[in-house]
Amino acid sequence: MSPSTSTPLRIGTRSSPLALAQAEMTKAALLAAHGWDDVAVFLVPMLSSGDKVQDRPLAEIGGKALWTKELERALLTREIDIAVHSMKDVETLRADAFRIAAMLPRADVRDRLIGADSIAALPHGARVGTSSPRRAAQLKALRPDLVTASIRGNVATRLSKLEHGEFDATLLAAAGLDRLGQGHIGTAIAASEMLPAAAQGAIGIDCLSERHELAALLDPVNHQPTFDCVMAERAFLEALGGTCHSPIAAQASIDKGRITLKAEILSEDGSEKRQGQTTFAPADLAAAARLARQLLDAASPDLRALFGQ
């Protein structure tokens, strides 16, 4: 397959500003890798169910699938050729019909705190807007006095809610702010203080498993270290069996051909945290599963129950 003016490559994307920015990054990477003209690739924006419903936490209305199901349907009906996702939003268990064929180089994995210079500097009893069970649990583990409340919407909406006093602070992914040209906003929180979500900062390119010609086109833009690290993090998630309600953090890094995976699971109120790390070869994803088992074995019955154990 070689895209042209008459048969361009169609990239499916959510229509939010951040999703469009990530799709444009994917388009630029493909044009550069193959030397194509701009008209050889175009974006097909779509409104996801997650974008439509903004008044309830994601976990209450269907979980991560709400970000991806419209794009997956469009892949199946051949309305689009590939889809671009924030890997953090991609379900861990997926139908065999789909394949994450490539990932762009990973961006900053950290969270950014908006509204204070540090978590320690937040006023006593501060109200922090977050719909992430991970962020809420980690905040409460550090500062049990903090009050967390659900906040939904795109970056601009969340910042507006903060500006209008609905919250004292919020946390956003540094990668998303950077991609929107807002990397100057807030304070980056070190991963040693708040371990990021699995796959945070990574952009994945999805296609139908049967479309081998597309996988071949995507291979030149795949950043293998990012791919290997994110797949290790996803293997950890799969082994845990968690849901959108389960506070989980995981970060993999690669050095000299070896992956080091750091991970933690927490109770919803942050009162219990089990953490650990392991080092293994990229092909040995079973090592990530073993780490998940170790953390669950060390957890209390209440914490294990969050993972269906």
C-alpha torsion angle, residues 266, 268, 269, 271 (rounded to 10): -30
**Active-site residue, selected from the candidate residues 38, 51, 81, 89:** 89
Spatial neighbors of 178 by CB under 8 A, at least 6 apart, are 107, 108
Beta bridge partners, 209, equal: none
Residues 6+ apart with CB under 8 A from 188: 108, 110, 111, 112, 174
* 228: nearest Cα among 63, 40, 100, 58: 100
**Can you tell me the distance from the alpha carbon of 283 to that of 53, in angstroms, rounded to the nearest whole number?**
39
Identify the CA nearest to 221 among candidates 13, 44, 35.
Answer: 35
- 89 annotated active-site: yes
Active-site positions? 89
